[in-house]
Amino acid sequence: MSTINETEERIDLSKITMEEILDSRHKAGKAWVNACALHQRYEKGEDEKLKQIMSNIAKTQTPPYGKKSWNRDDLRDAAQSSTEWTTYLDEWNNLYKTMLEAINKRDSWNATLEAKRTQMVNERESRR
């Protein structure tokens, strides 16, 4: 009996121990929790990051042509088109992908655990 793990490789259930499965499942779960926490920090910090970029622009760049000072809409537009903001969004998107990959790995190891449990029950029943 075999199952497929997160790397799409077949795992021979007769050659993997429960301890190895549980250890892998635990590591995958920790990776998911860490990725989720980082993703949430990015999500909660979105407004602060945008405000920081807007503040930096207001301090370091001249206002758009024909204007004496920055207004909020122009600052927001300038901040959202900045490379710093784009980089922030790219990092956030990568964290989201990492979070999804981690939960898929965890779910895969959960399925492997259930398959191993089923195999063990079947072997026990066949000995009766």
Question: From first to last of its 128 residues, what are the pLDDT tens digits of the chain?
Answer: 445 444 556 777 778 888 898 899 899 999 999 998 998 899 889 999 999 999 999 999 999 888 889 999 999 999 999 999 999 999 999 999 999 999 999 999 999 889 988 988 888 888 87
Residue 4: its pLDDT value, please? 47
Tally of CB atoms within 10 A around 29: 17
In order of 13, 61, 86, the CA distances from 51 in angstroms are: 53, 15, 14
- Entry pTM: 0.70
Tally Cβ neighbours within 10 Å of residue 1. Answer: 12
Stated as kind and residue range, the H or E segment containing 4 is strand 2-4
**CB proximity list for 10: less than 8 A, separation 6 or greater:** 2, 3, 4
pLDDT at residue 6 in the model: 46
Q: Could you give the CA distance from residue 18 to residue 26 in angstroms, rounded to a whole number?
A: 12
Domain ranges of the chain: 38-116
